[in-house]
Amino acid sequence: GMERGEILAKKPQAGASVVATTDTMNRLEQDALALLNDKQKYNMGGVTGMSAEFPAWPGGKKADTLVLLKGLVSKETLAVLQDLKQSAKSGASGLGATNEREFESLGNAIAALELSQRGGTRMSEPALKRALAQIVTYARKAKQNAARAYKDTYGEEYKFEDAAPSQTGAAP
């Protein structure tokens, strides 16, 4: 296997990977959960099936739902996931191949949502909710995996307070 020195040399990179993974996964999880649970603010029925074909009133529930959904399935999100996946695949993450599968699955779930929103075959409301629930599941798993891989490799938990001030720490 790798020499201890080689492994330790990757520690800063591994820490950065934990932060990048946690930040990205927190955002995906929060957005997906908001769409699933905040009925006051978001209307999933309005962006699925036939009703998706009608225009959204600015400032209405449907418009807000579309904005959050578009952010979730943006090219930026997919690019970040692609980067995370590549660095897991190449070992550049410092965490081995951790989360390669999770990032792949997240990318697929998000791509399906994106296609549906672009007016391909509109997803039904239950299908949209399933896709969002999958995103939440994979995002949580990826955060846990990253933390576990770091601990397994370096014998200690990653300490978020050492990171950039924007970091709020690992969510439960």
Mean pLDDT by runs of 10 across the 172 residues of the chain is: 77 92 95 93 82 79 88 88 90 88 91 78 84 95 95 91 50 50
Output the pLDDT for position 57: 79
Rounded to whole angstroms, the Cα distance separating 145 from 115 reads 28
Taking the C-alpha atoms of residue 46 and residue 63, their distance in angstroms, rounded to an integer, is 9
The CA-atom distances, in angstroms, between 100 and each of 23, 89, 94, 132 are 17, 6, 13, 19
**What pLDDT sits at residue 75?**
84
- Note the pLDDT of residue 18: 94
Query: Quick one: CA dihedral 107, 113, 114, 115, positive or negative?
Result: positive
Buried b (16+ CB within 10 A) or exposed e, 91-130: eebbbeebbbebbbbbbebbebbbebbeeeebbebebbbe
Q: Could you tell me which residues come within 8 angstroms of residue 46 by beta carbon, excluding any fewer than 6 positions away?
A: 52, 56, 61, 62, 65
Q: Alpha helix locations (H) across 38-124?
A: 61-72, 75-90, 100-117
| pTM exceeds 0.75 | yes
